[in-house]
Amino acid sequence: MYLTKEEEAMLNGEFGEDVELAIKVVVKVGEVLGAAKLISVVHAHISGISYFNILDYGLEFIEHLGSTGAHFRTFTTANPYAAVNASFIGKHFSSEVISKQVRIVNALERMGAKAFTCAPYYIRTPKEGEHLAWAESNAVLYANSVCGAKTNREGGPLSLMEAVIGRTYFGGVHLDENRVPEVTVTVNALKNELEVAAAGYIIGKYFPTTIPYVRGLNHGYEYYLKAFLAAFGSSSNSPMVILEGITPGYKRLLSRGRVRKNENIPVAEVREFIKEHTRDACSRALYVLGCPHLSEKEVQDIVSYVISRGVINTQDKEMWLITSSSVRLSSDLKLKLLKYGIKVYEDVCPVVTKLSMISVDCVITDSVKALHYIPKLAGVPAFLLDRVSIIKTFTRGGSLLD
């Protein structure tokens, strides 16, 4: 691999132990994947920082890296961490678990992490053509498919190394020739965000390694698109979807593609998937909105609706709104929401939290991504319900979107 003089100096340890380790890892990965050089990135995003995922080994590695003087050389954000500050119907996490998660967060902040969210595109929106080093599947798909930026779907440890050196390997979808579709998929007549997300999940299962060109997602709500890509990324390893009318330069990418087949996703198949996974209640149910993290507009819409309606009995259930602290809800507003059985948690993720440890019996969510991961990572069953129906469970009134 060709290296610049500065990169050679990094490799020779002239910038410190942390930089030497990081560039060795990135160079080795790049060489294995056939990359000819490294390129600078304007934004790195790190995943895999929940204590329940990385445990003591991950904690010790991150703290050791910080102790060597590591500091991120580019704008860097990280995924949300385990919701160890949360409680559910009076149940809390142990002080030991809380302490270890806080140590992970503190170490990353000392190295320069600017925010903790699975939606870093709300913190700093990528520009078309920018090179990024992002982990977190939904974020990668959003950056490539909606913003027109360029990032491979990195693993958490590799994105951490890339943040330390401010570079990634020049391969994968950083190269224009690898950003072309191989199949056209048409979806039609999807009526809400849950159907849009379910279609994304089904497409991902059909095409686990292929970049599809998707037609028919003609919805005005940004969070529909976010839900679609998050669901697609849960069932597919592809880093990109080319979306008709949305992906920058989609006509050019389509003209350069190698489309060999055309597929149609029947509405009946989408609705059958939802029917199989839908439930509106269970004992000690946790209702979750915010996977991926809610945008500021989504939070405002939900809160305005809730505050304007009456409250029903919320015994033995709670709703969690999950977002980034950049949304900045006031303490008074959070207290008001508590009267409705609704809690706001910032910078965290219930999906990567052992919810079974605080007596949650099941999760009901509008997120197909959460449906996929919660049983594996949080240790409790998960079910689907559309966003409007979830909110109606805690309020009286009409549609959230009326």
Q: Which CATH number belongs to the domain containing residue 124 in this structure?
A: 3.30.499
Could you list the residue range(s) of the whole structural domain that residue 309 is in?
280-394
For residue 95, tell me if it sits in a domain. Answer: yes
Q: Are residues 169 and 185 in the same domain?
A: no
Q: How far apart are CA 127 and CA 147, in angstroms?
A: 6
Q: Output the pTM of the full model.
A: 0.94
Q: Are residues 169 and 82 in the same domain?
A: yes
Bridge partner residues of 261 (DSSP): 183
Q: Are residues 165 and 132 in the same domain?
A: yes
On whether the CB atoms of residues 173 and 151 are closer than 8 A, the answer is yes
Cα separations (Å) of 389 from 47, 194, 256, 270, 385?
31, 11, 43, 18, 7
Q: Are residues 192 and 225 in the same domain?
A: yes
For residue 400, tell me if it sits in a domain. Answer: no
On whether the CB atoms of residues 211 and 240 are closer than 8 A, the answer is yes
Q: Are residues 210 and 305 in the same domain?
A: no
Q: Are residues 264 and 295 in the same domain?
A: no
For residue 380, tell me if it sits in a domain. Answer: yes
Per residue in 335-363, pLDDT (tens digit) is 888 888 889 999 999 999 999 999 999 99
Where on the phi/psi map is residue 33: left (φ > 0), alpha (ψ -120 to 50), or beta? alpha
Q: Are residues 385 and 347 in the same domain?
A: yes
Mention every residue, 6+ apart, whose C-beta is less than 8 A from residue 203: 185, 187, 212, 214, 232, 236, 241, 265
Q: Are residues 209 and 248 in the same domain?
A: yes
On whether the CB atoms of residues 314 and 394 are closer than 8 A, the answer is yes
Q: Are residues 376 and 240 in the same domain?
A: no
Q: Are residues 221 and 311 in the same domain?
A: no
For residue 399, tell me if it sits in a domain. Answer: no
For residue 163, tell me if it sits in a domain. Answer: yes
For residue 89, tell me if it sits in a domain. Answer: yes
Q: Are residues 236 and 305 in the same domain?
A: no
Q: How far apart are CA 43 and CA 104, in angstroms?
A: 20
Note the pLDDT of residue 106. Answer: 96
Q: For residue 368, count other CB atoms closer than 10 A to its CB.
A: 31
Q: For residue 262, count other CB atoms closer than 10 A to its CB.
A: 11
- At residue 133, φ and ψ (nearest 5 deg) are -130, 85
Mention every residue, 6+ apart, whose C-beta is less than 8 A from residue 191: none
Average pLDDT, 10 consecutive residues per value, the chain (402 residues): 96 94 97 97 97 96 90 98 95 97 97 98 97 98 98 97 98 96 92 94 96 86 92 98 94 85 93 94 92 94 81 73 92 84 94 96 97 96 93 64 37
Note the pLDDT of residue 312. Answer: 58
For residue 402, tell me if it sits in a domain. Answer: no
For residue 401, tell me if it sits in a domain. Answer: no
Burial class (CB in 10 A: 0-12, 13-18, 19+), 302: buried
- State which of 129, 150, 175 marks the end of a domain: 175
- CATH for 322: 3.30.499.10
